[in-house]
């Protein structure tokens, strides 16, 4: 088999495969029907973007300073435990916002021991700056800049993953969740039906804590201002009942393994059943064993959901969260607990909602623009270049098929700017053939034979066609790399269109022209 036949087979195979992948999208966009999923499968259908399908667009900001402060607070707790275990005396350990940690001691020997301990356990802390306050030696440590940057970047990436997990469990199809800058997350939720629920779900920090109720001191005295050291006043979510809680968190939601909604057998009310991992189950059993008869508060984002009495040791690592939930509230709570807590608070900077009817209008107008542009180009090519123009029009149709096929294969999302990119591609697709045709006309004027016309026309126009398309492709790649949202949607179809244009103009059309001059006895081109 010679190279010419092999090239023809490859072109035919590419177009057949392309048509198979593009057909579901073409049928869906240009007709009121859809192909049955069992024919080809939904995976080969191009998904519609937010502006075409309707939905919600959010710009979220992660409070990275809070993430750093949380890390400092955790370090303070860890350091206290280490000093107790190593029998190092200290007066006070406290966070020093935004990036510092303060330790107060009485003796200089203790100061040296703490310095050595911090160097060994926390090498990312700086050497301490020392001073004397209130008759005690004060040691101020700071987080090194590189570590502070790492903590903040980690907070954004962790928040991104947590938000993605929550949205996946919410059941939104084809969401777009990407970072934007250093602290922002761009979220697009096409086809979402309940925007308020989505905002609530994304914004909950979902920090789950278990704390003992302080029953050794008077709640009334605390309400009057006499709050005992190591305790604080919190309020129940339902009924706003005040409780005096211990500051120390005995268990956190980091040890959660599962969270499910269940229904009580007595009142048919939903509640959330939680299960801890192996280590969490061991800790929970120890806590309930040591505190039988006491109350254990279950706190989510600072709100007390319940504070049941511990009647007996609880083995197996299972507990329940009650709070007179509605079914949807219980489901959302289970989702955020399963997906994990956000490392820092998240705020909504920008919110935009697109209705489904507006999306349909956008599709209709976009398709009308594509159709009008395509028809005008087809008519111009057929009239001006005659039979060769019909070949260019065939290349244009194949070009559109390859664009939708490539988007389906790479699971790209079609947006309204993407449709604009397709319209632009229609013009650029025939531009390559126009350059080639004009070169071929020059060869015809010189009296060349049809075979020489084809060979010289493609050879002389090759550099110009590649230069024009590659420079545009470079611009499109820059837009894709650094652009977001609409700009990126435009770049996707533009870049795919440029590559398919080069294939249809320089490979497919050239092969057809060579086949014509080799197999048909023609004296001159209709061009």
Q: What is the pLDDT at residue 358?
A: 59
CATH assignment at residue 320: 3.30.1360.200
From CA 224, how far away is CA 241, in angstroms rounded?
15
Query: Is 312 part of any domain?
Result: yes
Q: Are 138 and 102 in contact (CB under 8 A)?
A: yes
Q: How confident is the model at residue 485 (pLDDT cuts 50, 70, 90)?
A: low
Band of residue 73 on the pLDDT scale cut at 50, 70, 90: confident
pLDDT-derived band at 402, boundaries 50, 70, 90:
very high
**Residue 298 belongs to domain spanning:** 204-352
Give the model's pLDDT for residue 317: 84
Residue 43 lies in a domain: yes
- Is 382 a domain residue? yes
Least confident range from 44-48, 80-84, 126-130, 493-497: namely 44-48
Q: Would residue 156 count as lying in a domain? A: no
List helix spans (H) across 256-347: 278-290, 327-339
Percent of the chain exceeding pLDDT 70 equals 93
Do 397 and 332 fall into the same domain? Answer: no
Residues 496-507 as b/e (b if ≥16 CB within 10 A, e otherwise) read bbbbbbbbbbbe
Is 163 in a helix, a strand, or coil?
Answer: helix
Q: pLDDT digit string (tens) for 304-313?
A: 888 888 888 8
Average confidence (pLDDT) over 125-145:
86
Pairing mode, strands 55-62 and 184-190: antiparallel
Is the predicted pLDDT of residue 250 greater than 50, yes or no? yes
Name the nearest CA neighbour of 460 among 479, 480, 440: 440
Nearest to 118 by CA among 79, 65, 173: 79
The residue assigned the tokens 């060994």 is: 120
Residue 461: exposed, middle, or buried by beta-carbon count in 10 A (0-12, 13-18, 19+)?
buried
Q: Which helix (H) or strand (E) holds 94?
A: strand 92-96
More confident residue, 445 or 135: 445
Instruction: Taking residues 73-85, report their average pLDDT.
Output: 81
Residue 453 in tokens: 């016309």
Same domain, 473 and 361: yes
Domains of the chain: total: 3
- H-helix or E-strand containing 49? none
Question: Over the stretch 193-203, which tens digit does the pLDDT of each residue have?
Answer: 778 888 888 87
Residues 370 and 409 in one domain: yes
Distance (Å, whole) CA 132 – CA 117: 21
What pLDDT, on a 0 to 100 scale, did the predictor assign at position 145?
92
pLDDT at 478 over 50: yes
Tokens 């096409």: give the residue: 190
Q: Is residue 18 domain-shared with residue 75, that is, in the same domain?
A: no
> 58 phi and psi, to 5 degrees?
-130, 145
- Whether cis (ω within 30° of 0) applies to the bond prior to 76 is no
DSSP codes, 263-274: E-TTT--EEEEE
Q: Is the pLDDT of residue 508 over 90?
A: yes
Which residues sit opposite 186 in a β-bridge? Answer: 59, 178
Number of Cβ within 10 Å of residue 429's Cβ equals 28
Do 454 and 305 share a structural domain? no
**Of all residues in the chain, what percent are helix, strand and coil, respectively (each to 5)?**
55, 20, 25
227 class by beta-carbon count within 10 Å (0-12 exposed, 13-18 middle, 19+ buried) = middle
Res 496: pLDDT: 92
Mean per-residue pLDDT over the chain, rounded: 84
**pLDDT band for position 38 (50/70/90)?**
low
CATH at residue 483: 1.20.1640.10
Q: Indicate if 247 and 377 belong to the same structural domain.
A: no
User: What is the mean pLDDT of the segment spanning 283-310?
Assistant: 87
In a domain, 183, yes or no: no
Q: Are strands 413-414 and 47-48 parallel, antiparallel or unpaired?
A: parallel
> Crossing angle, helix 195-203 and helix 145-170, to 10 degrees?
150
Same domain, 13 and 38: yes
CA-to-CA separations, 123 to 118, 126, 205, in angstroms, rounded: 7, 8, 29
Co-location of 337 and 362 in the same domain: no
pLDDT of residue 244: 93
Place of tokens 């973007």: 49
Q: Does 231 lie in the same domain as 101?
A: no
Please give the structure tokens belonging to residue 124: 């990312």
- Judge if 245 and 299 occupy the same domain: yes
Q: Record the tokens describing residue 227, joined without a space.
A: 């709050």
Q: Looking at the domain assignment, is residue 210 inside a domain? A: yes
> Which span out of 199-208, 339-348, 442-451 was modeled with the highest average pLDDT?
442-451
376 pLDDT higher than 50:
yes
Angle of helix 108-121 relative to helix 64-85, nearest 10 degrees, comes to: 120
Q: For residues 152-178, give the mean pLDDT.
A: 82
CA distance 501 to 406: 13
- Report, as an integer, the average pLDDT of 390-409: 89
Whether residues 69 and 98 share a domain: the answer is: yes
**Residues 376, 309: one domain?**
no
pTM summary value: 0.61
* Cβ 88 vs Cβ 114: under 8 Å: yes
Domain endpoint, select from 352, 377, 399: 352
Token code pair at residue 129: 């700056």
- The residue among 129, 148, 167 that closes a domain is 148
Gyration radius from the chain CA atoms: 34
List the CATH number of the domain containing 124: 3.30.70
Query: Is the residue at 196 inside a domain?
Result: no
Structure token pair of residue 400: 């559109």
Residues 330 and 28: beta-carbon distance below 8 Å = no
pLDDT tens-digit profile of 1-29?
578 888 889 999 999 998 888 888 877 77
Q: Are 459 and 518 in contact (CB under 8 A)?
A: no
pLDDT category of residue 42 using cuts at 50, 70 and 90: very low
What is the predicted pLDDT for the residue at 168?
Answer: 80
**Taking the mean position of all CA atoms in its chain, how far away is CA 43?**
20
Among 329, 352, 375, give the residue marking a domain's end: 352
Q: Is 115 within a domain?
A: yes
What phi, psi does 115 have (nearest 5°)? -60, -45
Each residue of 85-98: pLDDT tens digit? Answer: 888 888 888 888 88
């Amino acid at each position: 088999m010679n190279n010419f036949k092999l090239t023809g087979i490859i072109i035919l195979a590419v177009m057949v495969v392309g048509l198979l992948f593009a057909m579901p999208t073409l049928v869906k966009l240009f007709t009121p029907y859809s192909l049955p999923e069992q024919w080809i499968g939904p995976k080969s259908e191009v998904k519609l973007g937010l502006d075409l399908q309707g939905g919600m667009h959010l710009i979220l900001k992660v409070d990275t300073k809070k993430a750093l402060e949380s890390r400092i607070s955790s370090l303070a707790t860890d350091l206290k435990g280490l000093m107790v275990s190593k029998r190092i005396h200290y007066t006070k350990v406290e966070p020093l916002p935004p990036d510092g940690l303060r330790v107060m001691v009485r003796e200089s020997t203790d100061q040296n021991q703490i310095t050595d301990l911090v160097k060994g356990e926390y090498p990312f802390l700086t050497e301490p700056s020392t001073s004397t306050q209130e008759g005690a030696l004060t040691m101020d440590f700071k987080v090194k800049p590189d570590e502070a940057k790492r903590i903040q970047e980690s907070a954004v990436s962790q928040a991104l993953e947590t938000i993605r997990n929550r949205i996946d469990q919410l059941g939104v199809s084809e969401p777009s969740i990407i970072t934007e800058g250093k602290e922002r997350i761009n979220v697009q939720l096409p086809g979402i039906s309940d925007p308020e629920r989505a905002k609530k779900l994304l914004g909950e920090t979902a920090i789950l804590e278990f704390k003992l109720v302080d029953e050794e001191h008077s709640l009334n005295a605390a309400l009057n201002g006499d709050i005992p050291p190591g305790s604080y006043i919190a309020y129940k979510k339902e009924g706003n009942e005040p409780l005096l809680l211990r500051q120390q968190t005995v268990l956190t939601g980091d040890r959660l393994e599962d969270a499910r909604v269940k229904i009580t057998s007595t009142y048919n009310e939903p509640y959330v059943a939680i299960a801890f991992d192996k280590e969490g189950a061991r800790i929970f059993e120890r806590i309930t064993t040591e505190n039988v008869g006491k109350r254990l508060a279950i706190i989510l984002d600072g709100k007390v959901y319940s504070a049941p009495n511990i009647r007996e040791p609880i083995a197996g690592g299972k507990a329940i969260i009650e709070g007179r939930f509605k079914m949807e509230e219980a489901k959302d709570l289970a989702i955020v607990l399963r997906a994990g807590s956000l490392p820092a608070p998240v705020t909504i900077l920008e919110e935009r909602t697109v209705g489904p009817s507006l999306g349909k209008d956008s599709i209709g107008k976009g398709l009308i623009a594509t159709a009008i542009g395509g028809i005008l180009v087809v008519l111009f090519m057929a009239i001006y270049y005659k039979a060769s123009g019909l070949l260019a029009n065939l290349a244009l149709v194949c070009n559109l098929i390859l664009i939708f096929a490539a988007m389906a294969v790479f699971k790209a999302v079609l947006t309204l700017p993407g449709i604009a990119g397709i319209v632009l591609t229609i013009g650029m697709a025939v531009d390559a053939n126009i350059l080639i045709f004009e070169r071929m006309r020059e060869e015809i004027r010189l009296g060349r034979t049809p075979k020489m016309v084809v060979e010289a026309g493609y050879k002389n126009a090759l550099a110009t066609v590649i230069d024009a398309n590659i420079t545009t492709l470079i611009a499109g790649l820059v837009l894709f790399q650094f652009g977001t949202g609409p700009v990126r949607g435009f770049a996707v179809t533009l870049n795919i269109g440029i590559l398919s244009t080069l294939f249809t103009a320089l490979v497919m059309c050239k092969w057809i022209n060579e086949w014509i001059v080799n197999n048909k006895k023609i004296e001159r081109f209709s061009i």
